[in-house]
Amino acid sequence: MKIVVLDGFTLNPGDLSWSALEALGELTVYDRTPKEEIVSRIGNADAVLTNKTPLSAQTLAACPSVKYIGVLATGYNVVDTLAAKERGIPVCNIPTYGTAAVGQFAIAMLLEICHHVAHHSDAVHAGRWSSNADWCFWDYPLIELEGKTMGIIGFGRIGQRTGEIAKALGMRVLAFDAYQNDAGKAIGSYVDLDTLLKESDVISLHCPLFPETKGIVNAGSIAKMKDGVILLNNSRGPLIVEQDLADALGSGKVFAAGLDVVSEEPIRSDNPLLTAKNCIITPHISWAPKESRQRLMDLAVSNLAAWVAGKAVNVVNP
């Protein structure tokens, strides 16, 4: 079996091993693949693994040898899943690898907003503490989270992990999700969306991108939020209407935002959030600790091995 990885660098920049995948067949790994070389690099491969390299209906038609597609991520919108299904090609994703890392990162953004640790450390190293007239100083309002309310939109695995950490910090947790379960009820209270928007001091987005969730944060929903709310998003960029958020940050309606995702990635230089006040933006790295990437690698291998054994798992186009 011939296996091709079209864009392996993000998953494995050199600190992981491809050996388990090599054990399943003849493996070729490309760090990155430009669009014009996708078809030629797939060649006569049986199994194709991709992270963000698109696999369109036209590409699949030009590569008739492909029998399996593995997505090295949870999101699979880079693959024309319907075209793959019509050709009898299962598309398998990695649904659960980053729960701990992504929940941790959401809280890391929140804590940075509350304390500006990096800024104050830089100030100390620049000599401002040594020359300060008082025994301490701070350049931003410092925020204590205990007793405040965290509202989580999307209360699946990652949302619940974020809620667990928020609860440990002494926060009250509210959740909005179409599917309620006992695990979620043990962490917080399920409420309707308007209640969550009205009562939350911090709102964290952890829902998938569906037509009904696209732009769920917009001028209308922001107007229902508390004045001075903090917004976090390390789920999907298009959940937010970015100009509306930039305007709300400018007016102070939203005190601060912590974002690990944006509508188009890499971020465009004209994205309005780049010049918005009190907006932390990181380059989609919530998922990327080595431990998390190793789980992703292990699951990608087990997905392919299951398909080889005739028992495909994590199929998104059954």
Order of strands, sheet of 2-5, starting from the edge strand that comes earlier in the sequence: 26-29, 2-5, 47-50, 68-71, 91-92
What DSSP string runs through 202-244?
Answer: EEEE-----TTTTT-BSHHHHHTSPTTEEEEE-S-GGGB-HHH
Catalytic residue status for 115: no
- Annotated catalytic residue within 37, 265, 268, 291: 265
Count of helix runs (H) and strand runs (E) in the chain: 12, 12
Q: How far is CA 120 from CA 61, 116, 127, 135, in A?
A: 55, 6, 11, 14
**What's the longest Cα–Cα distance across the chain?**
73
What are the structure tokens assigned to 285, written together? 């790295």
Quote the CA–CA distance of 263 and 100 in Å, as a whole number: 24
Residue with structure tokens 């350049």?
139
Please say if 293 is a catalytic residue.
Answer: no
Amino acid letter, 132: N
Buried b (16+ CB within 10 A) or exposed e, 211-247: eebebbbbeebbeebbeebbbbbbbbbbbbbbebbbb
Which of these is catalytic: 120, 206, 236, 293? 236
Q: CA–CA separation, 15 vs 155, rounded Å?
A: 32
- CA 237 to the chain's CA centroid: 8
125 catalytic per annotation: no
Asked whether the CA dihedral 190, 104, 290, 273 is positive or negative, the reply is positive
Please state, as a whole number, how many other Cβ atoms lie within 10 Å of the Cβ of residue 35: 10
Q: Which residues are catalytic?
A: 236, 265, 284
